[in-house]
Structure 1
Amino acid sequence: MRALFRFKSFVFDPTRRNTLVSFSKSSKSKTHKTPSKIQAESVAITSLFNEITEILGSDVVESDETTRLRFPVSGETNVMTGGDGALVSCTQGVRENAKVGFSGEDGEAQKVVLEEFDVSPVVHEITSVVRADDDILVSMEDKLEKLSFRFEPKIVEKVLKRCFKVPHLALRFFSWAKDKDGFSHKVGVYNTLLSIAGEARDLDMVDELVKEMERNNCDKDIRTWTILISVYGKAKKIGKGLLVFEKMRKSGFEPDAAAYNIMIRSLCIAGRGDLALEFYKEMIEMGITFGLRTYKMLLDCIAKSEKVDVVQSIADNMVRICEISEHDAFGYLLKSFCISGKIKEALELIRELKTKEVCLDTKYFEILVKGLCRANRMVDALEIVDIMKKRKLDDSNVYGIIISGYLRQNDVSKALEQLEVIKNAGHSPRVSTYTEIMQHLFKMKQFHKGCNLFNEMIENGIEPDSVAITAVVAGHLGQNQVAEAWKVFSSMEEKGIKPTWKSYSIFVKELCRSAKYDEILKLLNQMHASKIAIRDDMFSWVISCMEKNGEKEKIEHVKEIQKKCKSYPQELSVSYKTELRQEEELVDDYNHPQVVQLSAPPPASSAVDKMDVQAICRMLSSSRDWERTRESLEKSTVEFTPELVVEVLRNSMIQGNTVLRFFSWVGKRNGYKQSAEAYNMSIKVAGCGKDFKQMRNLFYEMRRQGCLITQDTWAIMIMQYGRTGLTNIAIKTFKEMKDMGLIPSSSTFKCLITVLCQKKGRNVEEATRTFREMIRAGYAPDRELVQDYLGCLCEVGNTKEAKRCLDSLGKIGFPVPVAYSIYIRALCRIGKLEEALAELANFKGDRSLLDQFTYGSIVHGLLLKGQLQEALDKVNSMKEMGIKPGVHVYTSLIVHFFKEKQLEKVLETCQKMEEESCEPSVVTYTAMICGYMSLGKAEEAWKAFRNMKEKGASPDFKTYSKFINCLCQAGKSEDALNLLSEMLDKGIAPSTVNFRTVFYGLNREGKQDLARSVLQKKSALAAQRKVSA
């Protein structure tokens, strides 16, 4: 990975022009603060806040445009800004990129072409066939055949752009069209498909499309690389995004402003401000930069760190490069500090504004109040509101922020008190404020209070919006008052409010929860009559809900409605044309950010220093005496930030005891506050060491500290319980999360299903129930999860449920060939080759694509049955089609030849791999080690093991475990003991089974003293990993 970050050193210039703010040394000092200074520091912060309140309370507000801080927080728009938020003047030096089309002329040309697409009868006619696909008797492909059009790349590309929201249909159309007359493999078609797959978060489809481009000799252009970077960035696959970025360079394409812009945004969204800064430095050195919107994202991301000087420099560059006013830059800076919980820095900024004689308007008071509420400093927030009240700046907005702060703490009584304060002050509460309180009251089973609040809102002449009405509908359904819910829902139309898709979605989910199936049918029919687009995931929820209760007749009614919703008229409606145009524009604008050119490079600062991380890790591993380690840490000059702590936790996971003591110690340091990411990583460290008591303690501490507990936190705990076989506790944890009001995310579902499918603690019934719930919730599982789930179902012989899973995956847009290839793979792995071949023969889709996906699995299945010749024939037939055997095929052959004791064939297979530049994987090396051991050739096994490490394929846990088993079976347990020590040295924790295998082996060989040392190693490892020992 080092090759990815060959950046030159880049240091911020302290003498730069236009410095916005000079913070006091206390806010960015790197000197260590001893515990004796904690009280003094606390007093200093209080003193600072008192000083700020005096500043804010002493001035008289004047509406002078020259001094007012003008931050466009709400609907205010600067006439000088473009769509991305960057000033028009910033775009005069846009870096030329004719291929991607960033110039103004290209934009005009694109607009003209789009208009031409909209009136193209050919494209409209093809699109109506593709997107309809509702006829059971006549397939989409047959209908397309009858059109008798030449499917040239331009036409195919235009149709694909209009299928942006139906990726499964887009891929199906492409699979059919690519074999037709007039089609040729053009990069524009693949770029559109990659954009569609990326928007659908279907990374498997993205990978397959890239491979297909390579098979068809279709070269990538600059836009292809940019799309791939964007796809992986949006999916938070930062590692893959970085690899693509580096491959782009190696392919001869110099990354342009668009690629850098997307990379930095992706890193900011993923919370990797350290890497974003590195890319920012490289951009500066190359003389390019980005628009205001990306600058604000970078500012918000870096503000979470302790590097205040870096944040200040970025704000300076916003003024100099984007030519915004200092007033606006102050606003962005204040907002970033408040969002990041950096209240001290925000207060120092306010003090700095005083010295510059800048007056704050209402919006900036609101930013400060919101920041204080986020930091759970409600008393301080109220003090600011009192100052606003004295200066006659208070309004319903700022009181709404206070109410939101109390509701975030689940303190509804104080929220209601503040509601009375708003009314007594003569202000009308906002609709959103009423709605927020009502939602909390309904959630706390205080239904009548919530309804009274809704009635009060209407009596006071405040018109409810769709969100408020939907909240009341959900409240009624929670009380099983269906008739009243319908009455309230219908009142939307009477008030001239059109129910949104979200409103319908909540209504449907609540009806499903109450099993009111007749009402669901009524609501679906109403949605269809109102021309509300009903998504497939909603139909999936409803059908799954009805299946549980055996409502077969009603399921058929739902499917009839689904067919109606999918049908498209031959003459496209205006709304449909508008939707298609929006989808085309979404594809065309997928990666077209606004960029600006930089005249003089500004300074920057480094992110988390890897040397600092390594230094702390060395301290933690140098001694098991915590007091000595703590003394070393106290003397260290390293600046501790949440980002650095996360990296230390990640790199020292096997030393759970020491590293969690470090986590506790650093959390008590003056001026330091743990982040949610740091808590999540500490919870993972404790769970990996099976220290579940400490894991729970950290979770409760995280909640007490006011850190945001998301689905990711729960997913980590679920995975840690489940991986050790404690699946019942994992299930209870999942339910506990839902009871806390959190809706399971895709990752939470995946973690639970994965651990339920593994052999240790397997619970197939619960896995099936959770998988169906995931589908109903509208989440599409990834390939890895589908592989685990189908593999589990096949292993227990539940092929009926596996086939049902295939049907449901097809309905939600999961690629059908990929799903069937996974199913066939699972059948082959359990020895059901005949069933696998039958599924392959009966497949009605693109057979050639499925053959490519499954031939390795078929070869594996044939070899398990001992049918070597048939397997070799299969390999040769694929070679004739231009498909070379992959590493998994060669590995299967090696395993088979070892089993048959045909060492010459093994060596011959290895020679073929080398000739075809097929690098052996860790699995291949592991198979060779076990094979040699099975033939009694221990020396050859060790040679393969050493060769593996020399080639850069580091042995993993499975490699060590299998080698240890083989050595103990061969009477070489002392060598296995050495492998245990090597595992520990490499940071791989041996399992209880590993220790037991070596212990029994040494005892069998009469080496009792060495056997006792195994028990000592096991006890030492347990003490090393656990705090709650």
Structure 2
Amino acid sequence: MLLRARVRRPAAGASPLRPSRPSPAPFTTTTTDASTSSSPDPDGVAAEVATLLSRCSGDWKLAIAASDLPSRLSPASVSSLLLRGASSPRLHPKLLLDFFYWSRPRLGPSAPAPDAFAHLAVSLCAAGLFPQANGLLDHMIRAYPTPPLVLSSVHRAVSGSGHDRRPVVLDVLVDTYKKTGRVRDGAEVVLLMKDLGLAPSLRCCNALLKDLLRADALDLLWKVRGFMEDAGVSPDVYTYSTLIEAYCKVRDLDAAKKVLEEMRETGCSVNTVTYNILIGGLCRAGAVEEAFGFKKEMEDYGLVPDGFTYGAIINGLCKRGRPSQAKCLLDEMSCAGLKPNVVVYATLVDGFMREGNSDEAFKIIKDMSAAGVQPNKITYDNLIRGLCKLGQLGRATEVLKEMVKIGHIADTITFNHLIEGHLRQHNKEEAFWLLNEMRKDGISPNVYTYSIIINGLCQIGELETAGGLLEQMVAEGIKPNAFVYAPLISGYCREGKFSLACEAFKKMTSSNVVPDLYCYNSLIIGLSKVGKMEEAIEYYDQMLEKGVHPNEFTYDGLIHGYSMTGNVEKAEQLLHQMLNRLKPKDFIYAHLLEVYFKSDNLEKVSSILQSMLDRGVMPDNRLYGIVIHNLSRSGHMEAAFRVLSVMEKNGLVPDLHIYSSLISGLCKTADVEKAVGLLDEMGKKGVEPGIVCYNALIDGLCKSDNISHARNVFSSILIKGLVPNCVTYTCLIDGYCKAGDIHDAIGLYNEMLARGVTPDAFVYSVLTSGCSNSGDLQQALFITEEMVLRGYASISSFNTLVHGFCKRGKLQETVKFLHMMMDKDIVPNMLTVENIVKGLDEAGKLSEAHTIFVELQQKKASQHDTDHLSSLFTGMINQGLAPLDVTHNMIQSHCKGGDLDKALMLHDALVAKGAPMSCTSYLALLDGLCRKSKLTEAFNLLKEMEEMGICPSEDQCMILLNDLHSSGFIQEYNKVFDTMLCYKWLQKESKCNSVGNSQEAANAE
């Protein structure tokens, strides 16, 4: 039988059960008999007492007191009397019991023999004096705590009395154990009866089963039930009801239902209580629909559901978030003539508040009052808690006032709800005011109060205040627990303050507060997120040492951290550790998958997915979404569709994110036709394409030069009532610009503004590029000004426009635009200079590149800006990007402007690159060096010219020399002239001509 299978009996030869011992006995025990007693003749004393009791039953105490018997009494003599008297018809058991209680203080710490207790208990039961027997047995089990010893004495007493195998004294004995709080010893006594051929009554067994259930001693409950079957104690409705309740308690609902079936099979009548127990168990386990089925079944059997039946199902419905259905059951209950009690109403109020339906909850309160049921404090607390969670703090305060008005006292629980509600609204001032009000009203905050406030402060970033409150809490003598420290540690980790988090953790452990899993996880996950893996793994090792079992979030944090820092081997090692300890969740694998996707290791990705399936871990939509998204992004569309097929075979329906990834991937691989087909498939499968899907399709169509189809898709979006976003417009505008259709692009831009869609920097960049490429520089300038106004000024957009101006030879506009860039603190980069050169080259005006830099200098651009442009131009030379003629013009321009350092920087860049210097540039540099009296550098440059085979003409040399002489640089003139003679660039008489010409020029002036 089912019930019998549950019984687990001790193996043969196993030692008997040993329950915990009771409190010390009021006197010590002795098993000494008359022969070993200190009394010379215990049996004689017992006989004298017996004679005296039988003769003077009314005033025996006076008679004994008048004799010398009190001085001769001993435990042995009292034991002898109780044994003799129990079998003597002349001595009533009540009289013997009175003598026993009279003798107790005179015997000192010793007690009569256990058999004496047992025999008198049997006699008392035989006389119907069960309470008196119960009291006597209480003394016996206190004096003799070992159940086997007690049962052996009772067995001998019963055997000698001629009673049947189920004497009442056994029931009284078991009942005595239960009344003294020793229910496990009571069960042990019953189980020991089997070997003695004894058994208590069914009533006693039923009561014991019930008490074992209350004591959570289910191991003994099954054993006692097995004993009943072996001893032939047939179960009744109460037995079965207790067993059903026991199975419900351990959530073995199938077994509970089978007990009900067994009751019917054995012909045991099922009553309302039995059904109520089963219905209550089903509701607590969340099986409300089954509970409804048994309610109907009991009605079919002619049983009427009572208040408990309805209350259990109402509670179950509310716990499952179905208070409206529970309300219908309340109405049914009222129609059946049953009056709901305060618990039922409170359950409904709580149910509606948990659902967020405060209006319906207040209606229940109103109905409750109308029915004459006064809301209790629990009802009000539930209402206040729910209102605080909904943020209806004003209403919660009104409920508090009403609660106090009708006589309920607000306590710590009530204030905790209100404080928590205010902290959820980030109203810390009100929370602290309530804390002070509590103290004023003499209500002491408890550890949960502080836990709420500290958690709330940490949620709003008030970590310093939270830390101060923790210190105050300790100062007030309230010991923090893990729930107090956990939010503080988590808050520090969230803000990256790991030293403070570790300090709080250390303080916690030094205060003998045991960290829980949440504390460890906060540190491990927080440290892992920032790549501090050494510290994270230390806390992981520590939690294992302390016996705190990591969960999937612990491993997820560590695996993510090691994956992020590139230590995939360690991440895989932790994954295997986790697999040995617990069943993994699918999200654990996500981090490793991301790592392998980044390295394009599809073999590993496939291996991980197969490992998941082998372990019975079914990927959900999110994980399949990660795989399909990454495959699509990297262009592995065949693999992406294979994963999609597996997903659908496993009964999962692709969601919007997955379809968006596939459509985007198809568009990137130019398979737009398949992308359009996939969009149609979505609609057929009931997945409404979102704007993300349409954006991907529009982008793909535009990139495949199918702008008209893209525009049709855009129109269908509007028809479907979807709202285009910035990405939608950007894709189309970009498509039109690349197609050269600036008019439609600007039209879409204006439409975008009219619809209230804010353009981003990329929109402006696309429009600027499009207008510039099409030659509409005025429109491009307008778009750029709009971009600047909206705070989206970017170097890329400015570079595009610079290139457009230069391309069309608009040098003044270029200079003006460069000034605008610099005014907006947008620093030109290498691309800026490249665009200038490229644009001028395309316009056939490359030689004028230096004019832009001269204009910048003339317009007093900052030294930093011109220096920056020069260094960028030098960088172009180093990369071989700068045209030579432009570079030479730049050198000559810098020399003329007196900026010799920049000119030399360009010279050095050309020489380093092996590019030729022009003679004119060399002479310009020589002039500049001489004017700066840098003769050593000048001679080096002359030597470089001679080595490079640069031979200036006589006229070029004379121009330089005359210029130096006329400017008063006579020493420089002479040295340069001598060097030129040496290199045979001039004849000796050239000096006279040069001087004469210079003199004539001076006289003319």
Between 1 and 2, higher relative CO (CA 8 Å, sep ≥ 6) is seen in 1
| Greater helix share, structure number | 2
TM range (shorter): 0.3 to 0.5
TM-score by length of 2: 0.34
TM-score relative to the length of structure 1: 0.34
